[in-house]
Amino acid sequence: MAHSGLSSGRVVLLTGAGGPVAAMTERLLAHGARVALAGAVGHGGCAATAPAGAVLALPCDPGDPAGLGRAVDTVVDRFGRLDHLVNLVAAGPRTTPLMELDPLALREVLQRDLVVPLACVQRAHRRWMAAHGGSVVTVVADVVRDGARDVALAGLTELTEWLAAELAPRVDVHTLVPSPSIGADAYRTAVADALCGLLARRPHRAHGPVLVLTEGHVRRPRAA
């Protein structure tokens, strides 16, 4: 099984922190999915209004690969499956121009946006998806542009391409990023529906693994 779909009873692990968490969780629950919230999102109030047993809150440091690895283990042990992994990459504080940036600060950005999501994918793959299939979606949570963030997004694009090639055909891998032209409010509103669309049905291969969300639809990036 290479794609689990988003039918009732599927299990989604949402990691990280960012503005669209509540909307994404609400849409996933509306599709009948069971949702585990790991990282800072685990402190949200989604569990209070969800059907009994539909939401599992797992508060932990979203920047700690070991903590998120334990969250993966808990989801598989508690629900008996892990169909979809959604890594939410939130924007940090704006940085200075690259020529004035402390290289250690850039290392922190790369740790948050590349290393932590990769570690989580590795754990989910070992614990469930290698044998059963599934999908991985990384969602860039906010519309923020600066030098350090764009460097990290370029790395995230390459990471997505490599993971998509390595894990095919059993595991689908995508990244959702905002178009520079879309406003922050419009993006946060649209990204939840775009995510559920990705999980519910496999996009055409021509779209590629990195998808750009514009006003009203998702498109692939233009070739460089």
Supply the pLDDT for residue 6. 72
What is d(CA 169, CA 10) in angstroms, rounded to the nearest whole number?
19
Token digits for 127?
């614990």
Domains of the chain from N-terminus onward: 11-219 (3.40.50.720)
DSSP code for 211: E
What is d(CA 176, CA 53) in angstroms, rounded to the nearest whole number?
28
Amino acid at 33: A
Q: Where are the alpha helices (DSSP H) in the chain?
A: 21-30, 46-49, 65-79, 103-110, 116-124, 130-132, 147-167, 184-200
DSSP code for 170: T
Supply the pLDDT for residue 207. 64
What is d(CA 167, CA 159) in angstroms, rounded to the nearest whole number?
12
Supply the pLDDT for residue 86. 96
Supply the pLDDT for residue 114. 93
The CA-atom distances, in angstroms, between 156 and each of 27, 66, 106, 149 are 25, 20, 14, 10
Amino acid at 121: V
Per-residue pLDDT of the chain (224 residues; tens, 9 = 90+): 455 677 778 999 999 866 788 889 999 999 999 999 998 654 455 655 667 789 999 998 888 999 999 999 999 999 999 999 999 987 666 668 889 988 888 888 889 889 999 999 999 999 999 999 999 999 988 766 778 888 888 999 999 999 999 999 999 999 998 888 888 788 877 888 889 988 987 766 656 899 998 876 656 565 44
Q: Which residues contact 69 (CB under 8 A, 6 or more apart)?
A: 119, 120, 123
Q: pTM surpassing 0.85?
A: yes
Supply the pLDDT for residue 41. 56
Amino acid at 46: C
Token digits for 117?
């999501």
